[in-house]
Structure 1
Amino acid sequence: MDERRTPKLVGTAWGLLILNTLGSTGAETVVPLPRSLIQMVTMGALVLAFLLALALNPRLRVRPSAFLFLLTLLLVPSVIASADLESGLGALFRCGRMALFVVTLWLLSRWWDGGVTFVRHHIRMYFVVLCSVAAGALVSPGAAMPDLYGGRLVGALWPLTPPQIGQYAAVIIGLAVLLVVGHRTDRRSAALVIVPSLVLLLLTHTRTATLGLLVGLTLAIGSLTLTSAAARRFFSWAVLCAAVAAVVFAAALRSWFLRGQSEENFSNLTGRAKVWDALLAAPRTTGEKVFGMGLGDKSFDGLPIDNSWLAVYHEQGLTGVTLVAGVFVVLGGVALLRPPSLARACAIFLISYCALASYTEAGLGDASPYLLHLAVAASLLAQPAAATPLPVPDPPRRRVPRWARTSEVT
C-alpha cells in the first residue's frame, strides 16, 4: 500500500494513542496540573483515537496479526485476576482501557502494509513530545532539572520522568538514523530530529535508553550490511568513532554512566533488586501464580517494580509472562525470516530495544509506549496487501448514423 493512500487522520489517531500512554505521574510542572485533569486528557485521547479509527474503518477490515492476537489473549488473565476486585475497581478500569487500546490497534491494522508510514507517524508524534520537554527546559530550567531527580531532565510542562524522555528520544533517534541509511529521508531533515533528541537523551542520564539505542542500532544496521553499502559505511564509521570515544572520553563516560552513584548502588540497579527479591518471595496462591493479582500501577508495596517481566508476573501471572514472551518470539522469528530491508531493520531495532528495556522498565503487559513500539514493528513486518486489479470497462459502442447503415436486402 502506498503511503499516499493512507489517510492522514490515521496519523492523528496514532498521535492520540501516544498521548494516552504518556502517563499521569511524574515531575512537578511549571503550572501545576491536577492528576485528575491529566487522566481525563489521556483517557479522552484514547476514546477519540478509537472513534476516529472506527470512523476511518467502518467496515471493520483488519489485517491478520499474531501480535494483536496475543495482546487480545493477554486480556484474559487480566480480567480473570481483576474480577475478584482485590485490586479494587481501578483494576477493572485498567482492563477496559487496555481492551479499548487493543481494539483501536486492530482497527488501525488495516493500514499495516510493511511500509514505513507508521515509523514516520511515530517519529513525528514523539518529536512533538520532546519539543514540549525542550520548551519546558527553556521556560524554567530549575523545574526541568530538579534536585529531586539528581539534576536529570524532566518534563516541566507535562509530567514526564527522565526514563520516559530518554525512551522517546532513543527510539526516534534510532528510527531516524535507519531512515537515513535506507535513503528514505535526507540528512538535513534527519539532523533536525537526531541532534536535539540526542541532547535531551544525554540530559536525562538514562542508561537503559542509551544502551537500548546502541544495541538496537548495532543489530539493525548489522542486518543491512550484506545488502547496503551505505549501511556498511555507517557501521564502519560508527565502530571507529565509538572506539575513539571510549579511549579519549573514558573517564567522562564512566562518570556519566554512574550518575554519581556508588559501585554498590549501581550493582544493585539503584535499589531495584531489593524490590524484585521481595516480590518473588511474597506468598501467592495457585490462582495468583497463574493469573496474577490484577492490573495495577506496576508497583509492589508502594515501590515501582521497574521490570516488565516481574510486573507482568505480579499482575497477570505466568499466563501473562508466557503470552508476552510469545510476542517477542513471534515478532523476532518473523523478522529473522524476512529478507534484508529497511522495514526489517527498523523492526529489529524496535524489538531489540523493547527487549533490553524490559529488564529495567515496566509496561509490556498494559497499554504503554512499549506496546506501541512493538505495534510499529508488527506493521513493518506485515505482508503488503495484494493489489486488486481494477476492472477494465468495455469500450464504448460507436453509434452508426442512419444514412451509413447497410440497407437490408429483401
Structure 2
Amino acid sequence: MGGNPRRGGLPDGPHTAGARSGAGPCPTTTPRAVGIVWGLLVLNTLGSAGAETVIPLPRSLIQMVTMGALAAAFALALALNPRLRIRPSAFVLLLTLLLVPSVLSSLHLESGFGALFRCARLALFVSTLWLLTRWWDGGLTFVRHHIRMYFAVLGSVAAGAVVSPGAAMPELYGGRLVGALWPLTPPQIGQYAAVIIGLAVLLVLSGHTDRVSAAVVIVPSLVLLLLTHTRTATLGLLIGLALAIGSLVLTSAAARRFFTWAALCAAAAGVGFASALREWFLRGQSQENLSSLTGRAKVWDALLAAPRTTSEKVFGVGLGDKSFGGLPIDNSWLAVYHEQGWIGIALVATALVVLGGVALLRPPSPARACAIFLISYCAIASYTEAGLGDASPYLLHLAVAASLLAAPPAAAPPLSAPEVSRRRFPRWAGEGR
C-alpha cells in the first residue's frame, strides 16, 4: 500500500501542527519515523502470555522486549517532537485522567508492586500518544500504519503455521490457530485479522487503495481469522463493517453495491451453509458451555459477588493482569471495575461516548467510516475481551479512531513581503536595504 494516495499510498496534504497557539507552522509531511513509533507501540501491546512457541521464549525476555519497545517509542516520539507540540484530544485527556484512579488504587499494593509498574507503563504509553497527536489531522496516515504493523504480526503467525503446523494449532487450544513464533492466543490473532480486514475493505471501497493491494491484506487475514475460530472478532468485523459501510451508503455508489452484494451473499450462505456455519460457531462446545460464554460468566459472577470496601468500589484494587481468582476476567468493563473502580468505568465509557458522538457529527467520509468501524469493534469486543483500561491493542484502535476524527489544522496565512524578507535576510531586515 504505497505510492498514490488513491492507489494505496499515504495521503498527501498538510498534516497536524501543534495545538498551542504560536506553536509554529504546520509540518507539511508526517515523518516516516512516526510509523516506526506506531510499530513499537504495537509490539509493546502484543503481550507476553500465550501458546508455547517453536523456540521457547522466556517470559522475562518477552517482557524486556515489549517494555523496551515502549521506551524506544517514547524516546523516538520525543525526538520527533522535541518542542512538545501537541493537539487537543479529549480521548487522550481521558486516558490521562484514567491514570488517577489507577495510581491511587495501586498505591495500596493489593495487586503487588507490579501494579505500580503497570501504572508507569500506562503513563509512558499515554505520553507517547500525546506526542503523536501533533500528526493527528483527520487523514488516513495512521490507518495505513495500523494495517502495515498488524499485517506484519499476522505474517509471523502464518510463518509459524508453515514452520510447525502442530505448534500453531495445538490440542490445548482445541486446534485453533495460535502464534508459534511469538506467543499469541487465538483471540489476539482474530482481533488483529478482523481489524485490518475491516480497514482494508473500507479503504478499497473509498478508492484509497487498489483491489490488488487490498486483496493481499484481506485474503490471508480472512484465512487466519477463520482458523482462529474467534467468534467475538468475527461478529465485531461483521457488525462494525455494516455500521461503517452504512455511513457511506448515501455518498458512495461502491459502498451501496458492496452492501447489496454482501447482504445477498450472507443470505445465500445462511441458507446453503447453515449447518457448517453453526458447527464453526459452536467449535464443538455444548449448548451449556456456550450459554456460559465458555465459563466467563462464572468468573464474572464471582467477581461481582466478592466483598469490596468503598475505596475499592470507587478506585479499584490497582492495575493487575486482568484476572480474578487466577482466571481471566475477559470483560473490559468488569476488568476496569475491578482494577480502577467506578471512576475508571466512567472515564472509559466517556471516552467511547465522546468518540462515537464526534463520529456521528462528522459528515460522511472514508475517515469517518474507518473511525466508526474501530469504535464499534472495540465496543462489541469489550463484552468478552479485556483491555480498555490499560495499554492494549484496543486503546491503539481507539487512538487511530481519534486521529481520524481530529479536525484538520487551519492553513497558515500567506506571509507578507516584509516577513518573507526577514526570513530570507534576517541580518538586514528593517535596515532599509
Instruction: Report the TM-score, using the length of structure 1 for normalisation.
Output: 0.95
Which structure has the bigger radius of gyration?
Answer: 1
Aligned to 1:295: 319
Aligned to 2:305: 281
In 2: Cα distance, 1:390 partner to 1:50 partner: 34
* 1:237-278 superposed Cα distances (whole Å, 9 cap, x missing partner): 110111101111100000000000001100110000000000
In 2: Cα distance, 1:328 partner to 1:108 partner: 20
Percentage of identical aligned residues: 82
Aligned to 1:183: 207
Other structure's SS at 1:5 match: coil
* 1:183-207 superposed Cα distances (whole Å, 9 cap, x missing partner): 0000000000000000000000000
Aligned to 2:294: 270
Instruction: Using the TM superposition, give the Cα deviation of residue 106 of structure 1 relative to its aligned residue in structure 2, in angstroms.
Output: 0.3
Aligned to 1:400: none
Instruction: Using the TM superposition, give the Cα deviation of residue 393 of structure 1 relative to its aligned residue in structure 2, in angstroms.
Output: 3.8
Aligned to 1:27: 51
Aligned to 2:329: 305
In 2: Cα distance, 1:392 partner to 1:178 partner: 42
Match of 2:68 among 44, 55, 75: 44
The aligned length equals 396
Aligned to 2:92: 68
Instruction: Using the TM superposition, give the Cα deviation of residue 389 of structure 1 relative to its aligned residue in structure 2, in angstroms.
Output: 2.8
In 2: Cα distance, 1:87 partner to 1:348 partner: 35
1:98 aligns with 2:118: no
1:323 aligns with 2:315: no
Aligned to 2:431: none
Aligned to 1:399: none
Aligned to 2:266: 242
* 1:182-237 superposed Cα distances (whole Å, 9 cap, x missing partner): 10000000000000000000000000000000000000000000111111011001
Instruction: Using the TM superposition, give the Cα deviation of residue 392 of structure 1 relative to its aligned residue in structure 2, in angstroms.
Output: 4.5
In 2: Cα distance, 1:352 partner to 1:136 partner: 31
Aligned to 1:406: none
Corresponding letter in the other structure for 1:206: T
* 1:25-77 superposed Cα distances (whole Å, 9 cap, x missing partner): 00000000000000000000000000000000001011101001100000000
Match of 1:135 among 141, 159, 166: 159
Equivalences for residues 64-213 of structure 1 within 5 A? 64-213=88-237
Aligned to 1:221: 245
* 1:271-292 superposed Cα distances (whole Å, 9 cap, x missing partner): 0000000000000000000000
Instruction: Using the TM superposition, give the Cα deviation of residue 2 of structure 1 relative to its aligned residue in structure 2, in angstroms.
Output: 3.6
Equivalences for residues 321-360 of structure 1 within 5 A? 321-360=345-384
Corresponding letter in the other structure for 2:41: L
In 2: Cα distance, 1:242 partner to 1:392 partner: 60
User: Where in structure 2 are there 5+ consecutive unaligned residues?
Assistant: 1-12, 16-27, 422-433
In 1: Cα distance, 2:127 partner to 2:343 partner: 21
Instruction: Report the TM-score, using the length of structure 2 for normalisation.
Output: 0.90
In 2: Cα distance, 1:271 partner to 1:45 partner: 34
Match of 1:314 among 331, 335, 338: 338
1:371 aligns with 2:395: yes
User: Where in structure 1 are there 5+ consecutive unaligned residues?
Assistant: 397-410
In 2: Cα distance, 1:8 partner to 1:333 partner: 31
Aligned to 2:19: none
* 1:116-170 superposed Cα distances (whole Å, 9 cap, x missing partner): 0000000000000000000000000000000000000000000000000000000
In 2: Cα distance, 1:176 partner to 1:92 partner: 38
Aligned to 2:20: none
Corresponding letter in the other structure for 2:145: H
Instruction: Using the TM superposition, give the Cα deviation of residue 17 of structure 1 relative to its aligned residue in structure 2, in angstroms.
Output: 0.2
Aligned Cα RMSD in Å? Answer: 1.0
In 1: Cα distance, 2:267 partner to 2:204 partner: 23
Corresponding letter in the other structure for 1:299: S
In 2: Cα distance, 1:132 partner to 1:390 partner: 49
In 1: Cα distance, 2:310 partner to 2:41 partner: 35
In 2: Cα distance, 1:367 partner to 1:21 partner: 7
Aligned to 1:403: none
Instruction: Using the TM superposition, give the Cα deviation of residue 303 of structure 1 relative to its aligned residue in structure 2, in angstroms.
Output: 0.2
